[in-house]
Amino acid sequence: MRIRALFTVIFAVAAYSQAAFAVVYPLPAKNSRLVGENIVIDVPKGSTDPLEHFAAQFQMGLSNMMEANPGVDPLLPQPGKLVIPHQLILPDTPREGIIINSAEMRLYYYPKGTNTVVVLPIGIGELGKDTPVNWVTSVQRKKDGPTWTPTKAMHAEYQARGETLPEVFPAGPDNPMGLYALYVGRLYAIHGTNANFGIGLRVSHGCVRLRADDIKWLFENVPVGTRVQFIDEPVKATVEPDGSRYVEVHNPLSQTEEQWKSTQPVPITLTPVVSKVLGDASVNTSDVDQAIQARTGMPVKVNGLQEAQPQVQPGETDQPQAQPQPEVVPQPPVIQPVNSEPAAPAESQPTATEPSAG
């Protein structure tokens, strides 16, 4: 397909100048939430690149890549096809400001006046140091060159491992917060990192981490006062204008140490909103069950004729072609420079008590 080929070329070019680009989806109509298009790339023979290399190149998190490519070796993906899951269902939230969905480890930003949404992968809090959920706040301030002051609990944690933290990490490339930070509420920040891994993983003390180029873009484009909403929605569902129903299932975050260590998948509980979408008489329950079991993190149509899904078989040379939909045609994201109009400061309405975290 011509549009798919163009999309691939845009991504390939962007990989060499990532700092100046962001993944931008044109917003669909208000009664539609399905956007983007999955693509498939080839891991060449002899490649020694880890999965993080491909994830960063295509603005994805490790968790998204591993869900879409079950069984892939994160340290050394084998030659063959690799799915880039760029089709998604927008969260069922206001299309305003920043939306952070911990379950899918993605940040959505709706630049005011652009009719677009920017989607970036994130790292979130470790088990027991969770990133907040069910919380609406705002960007309180921004800092170019943040310093980091570890809490007493952090000092104790590191001392237990035989490591010593400085009282204050000065600003600079070695700072764990990276080079830019957007402070939300009193205790949390959206910031960068000094590591070359961890995006799409639970690695922080509760804050939201982004790759260096992504946080720089946010810092330059998101004004103080921007609304920020934290959610935890592993399952999203939508009814599209032509009646097509889709469900997107991610692995829920472990809530206990037992779940974290278990080899069994974390149980999924459907919200009333999702249940209503999937409870329609037109829905094939077997397709819903399969989507919940597979948890690919990609939208799956669960009524009417099914769409062809990307199939990854090591050694394949022919790229699978998705069947076009006659009425619902999601537009692919475009990697392009974004000059967003600053959003007007919004009144923050906290809906949950801010948890304490480092």
> Active-site residue numbers?
191, 207
176, 203 Cβ separation under 8 angstroms: no
Distance CA 276, CA 103 (A): 21
- Residue 344: both structure tokens together: 């007007």
* Beta-ladder partners of 180: 144
- Residue 250: both structure tokens together: 């991610």
Burial 309-336 (b: 16+ CB within 10 A, else e): bbebeeeeeeeeebeebeebebebbbbe
Distance CA 296, CA 288 (A): 12
What are the distances in angstroms from CA 121 to CA 79, 190, 284, 325, 352? 24, 12, 31, 28, 24
Q: How many CB atoms lie within 10 A of CB 49?
A: 12
* Beta-ladder partners of 101: 106, 231
299, 87 Cβ separation under 8 angstroms: yes
DSSP letter at 101 equals E
What are the distances in angstroms from CA 49 to CA 74, 82, 316? 10, 13, 19
In what helix (H) or strand (E) does residue 202 lie, and over which residues does it extend?
strand 202-204
